[in-house]
Amino acid sequence: MIGLELTAAFIDAMVLLQQGGGPAITGTGLAALGVGLAGFGAGYAERGIGAAAIGALAEDSISFGIALVMTVLPETIVLLTLVTLFLQ
């Protein structure tokens, strides 16, 4: 259902661009899209990293700090994209 809505929005944007109605997405909109996609990617990465860190803690009893750093590392991507949003 969401895919159909996104397809319709994409088609509307393309029609707008062909008619010369100006940019479909402004610079701020593109920056917000970048932050959203970076957040989605970080969440996707943390899914696997978190499971692996918990498994390593359970089996090998590695340091909790190492597991925490490995889990939080993908969030730095989102922080860097937020910096670009504020600089835009």
| Distance (Å, whole) CA 64 – CA 57 | 7
Q: What confidence category does residue 52 fall into, taking pLDDT thresholds of 50, 70 and 90?
A: confident
- Report the pLDDT value the prediction gives residue 2, as an integer from 0 to 100: 55
The pLDDT assigned to 18 comes to: 74
Q: What pLDDT, on the 0 to 100 scale, is given for residue 21?
A: 63
Between CA 11 and CA 41, with CA 39 as vertex, the angle to 5 degrees is 80
For residue 22, pLDDT beyond 70: no
3 versus 40: the higher-pLDDT residue is 40
Q: Judge whether residue 23 has pLDDT over 80.
A: no
Pairwise CA distance, residues 14 & 52, whole Å: 42
